[in-house]
Structure 1
Amino acid sequence: MLPDVVTMLAEGLGREMRGVLELYPQALGVLKGRIKNKKAAEDLDDLDKWYQEELGPTILSRTPPHLTLAELIRLMKWKLTRGKFRPALMGLVKGNTEQVVIKATRDGIKLAKEKKLTIAVGALTVLKGVGPATASAILAVAVPEHCSFYADEVAESIPALKTHKYSLRDYEVLNSEMAQLAERLNTSELLDQTKGKPKWTPHKAELAVWTYYLLYNHNQEVLTSLGVFDESMEKEAKKGEKRREKLANRNSEKRYEDENDGEGDGKRAADPESNGDGHKNKKHKT
């Protein structure tokens, strides 16, 4: 019996998650098979390779690091192909100017490197069509040591985010979970005396969770073939439901208190992709 996604997030060890991460291409293949637009599905491999392998080094080669308008547009194409398709966002992003994109991304990346996540996201969401989820895509590729990408599949793996709304606070919860997971995986590999492996980062942890989510829900045979899940993980999978319910209730209470503390951050930082209302969000972002 495979552990479910929530149990894997809570209990998975470094060696297990590394095995999962190696299956990322298979998970991407699952996603391609679920995309109805054949042209978009064909483009996904190239877009994802560009985003995961090429964009980060390109950004960091500049002084100071930043994105261009063309790169922001291509990043949005990657995000809309890999996640929920909202065509209105592309039009909004194309309405930005080169100078504004360079300044906003320069400021956001600098702040993220200083571990000022909330302010970093705020610096990026001045851009048209960019909310916390899109901002996270910029930060995850430019500052992977501190930031992860706000993927729907990852959010749905976190009990406290089952009803997420693409808000800044939701992203803070998600990124905190991925940072804690990366720290735990690094510790477990240290105890296992795993040598010669690159360290886990929040972005790498997010990719592993995303991979497990896709394969657990659509191709479990691939996960089973790994042979890395031991009996203790199976036991955790069986008893995990009560623990998840308890955690979800506690986090829900905390989020309710936060959302009613009078600050209104979640509402202010809502991502334009949260409701698909192009007119409303365009007014809000501009």
Structure 2
Amino acid sequence: MELDFECTDLSIWKEALSSYKSRIQSLNKPNLISLDQFYTHELPSLLRQRNPNPFITTAELSRLMQWKLTRGKWRPRLLDFVSSLDDSSVQSVSQKAFLSLPDISKAISELTVLKGVGAATASAVLAAYAPETAPFMSDEAMLAALGSSKDYSLKQYLLFVEKLKSKSKELSSMDDSFRPSDVERALWSSAVGVKLQSSQTAPDKKIKGSNKRKRKH
């Protein structure tokens, strides 16, 4: 059963979050496991090492985009745009964005001047550096939190952030830290788990259906 955003049972949220890695593996998408390792572990570490003036490089942004598109919907043109960006511009723009935090609106606006970088990609950049402040704007989490994943505007992202921060605060009050980015991953993991389950049971339903039709004749 898919995780309900209004659920207040911390154990259910923790179970969904702990299933994240196995869901990544279950998708069987080329390079997704290594890309997710880069995004969730290597990139945050690299960004923290660059304090007090953190930045992201074009090569790192390109890998982040690969992660985003492989974990979600594949849109190769976005990857082409990002991969061809001037490295000094990416470093300068991302540094301004990171230093703008915790002003999320300003940070997103700084990043979206880069070609191919919309609010969703910008949110992924910020989430890698500040997971406690700016969660990634995934379709699955947007759908769970706001009931729609069609609007990728800054305004919609700010609503999304408020919802996830509120849920994060609620869950953290029960136990240890549950960051807004943890809320996003738990929602994504749950939604993907449901999709994987339904895709596995679909062939069985077809077989049963065809058997019924045969019996009728």
Class of the TM-score when normalised by the shorter of the 2 chains: 0.7 to 0.9
| Alignment pair present for 1:213 and 2:199 | no
| Residue in 2 that maps onto 1:103 | 92
Please say if residues 60 and 66 of structure 1, whose CA atoms lie closer than 8 Å, have aligned partners that are also in contact.
no
Matches within 5 A, 1:217-232: 217-219=195-197
| Residue in 2 that maps onto 1:42 | 30
| Residue in 2 that maps onto 1:245 | none
| Residue in 1 that maps onto 2:148 | 162
Q: Structure 2 CA distance, aligned partners of 1:21 and 1:94?
A: 31
| Alignment pair present for 1:133 and 2:120 | yes
Please say if residues 13 and 188 of structure 1, whose CA atoms lie closer than 8 Å, have aligned partners that are also in contact.
no
Moved over 4 A (4+): none
Q: Which of 7, 24, 41 matches 1:11?
A: 7
| Alignment pair present for 1:65 and 2:54 | yes
- Residue 62 of structure 1 and its aligned partner are, at CA, apart by 0.6
Structure 1 residues 55 and 26: alpha-carbon distance in aligned structure 2, compared to 1, 3 A threshold: same
| Secondary structure in 2 matching 1:101 | helix
Deviates more, 1:130-139 or 1:180-189: 180-189
| Residue in 2 that maps onto 1:90 | 79
Q: TM-score, normalised by structure 2?
A: 0.85
| Alignment pair present for 1:203 and 2:181 | yes
- Residue 98 of structure 1 and its aligned partner are, at CA, apart by 1.1
| Alignment pair present for 1:75 and 2:64 | yes
Q: For CA contacts below 8 A with separation 6 or more, give which structure has more relative contact order.
A: 1
| Secondary structure in 2 matching 1:10 | coil
Report the identity percentage.
Answer: 30
| Secondary structure in 2 matching 1:11 | coil
- Consecutive unaligned residues of structure 2, counting only runs of 5 or more, are 199-217
Q: TM-score, normalised by structure 1?
A: 0.65
| Secondary structure in 1 matching 2:37 | helix
Q: Structure 2 CA distance, aligned partners of 1:161 and 1:118?
A: 22
| Alignment pair present for 1:56 and 2:44 | yes
| Residue in 1 that maps onto 2:203 | none
| Alignment pair present for 1:116 and 2:98 | no
CA RMSD of aligned residues (A): 1.6
Q: Structure 2 CA distance, aligned partners of 1:14 and 1:105?
A: 35
**Count of residues in Structure 1 that have an aligned counterpart in Structure 2:** 197
- Residue 117 of structure 1 and its aligned partner are, at CA, apart by 0.8
Please say if residues 14 and 186 of structure 2, whose CA atoms lie closer than 8 Å, have aligned partners that are also in contact.
yes
- Residue 175 of structure 1 and its aligned partner are, at CA, apart by 1.5
- Residue 180 of structure 1 and its aligned partner are, at CA, apart by 1.0
- Structure 2: which amino acid aligns with 1:144? P
Structure 1 residues 61 and 163: alpha-carbon distance in aligned structure 2, compared to 1, 3 A threshold: closer
Q: Which of 137, 148, 157 matches 1:171?
A: 157
Please say if residues 66 and 79 of structure 2, whose CA atoms lie closer than 8 Å, have aligned partners that are also in contact.
yes
Please say if residues 164 and 170 of structure 1, whose CA atoms lie closer than 8 Å, have aligned partners that are also in contact.
no
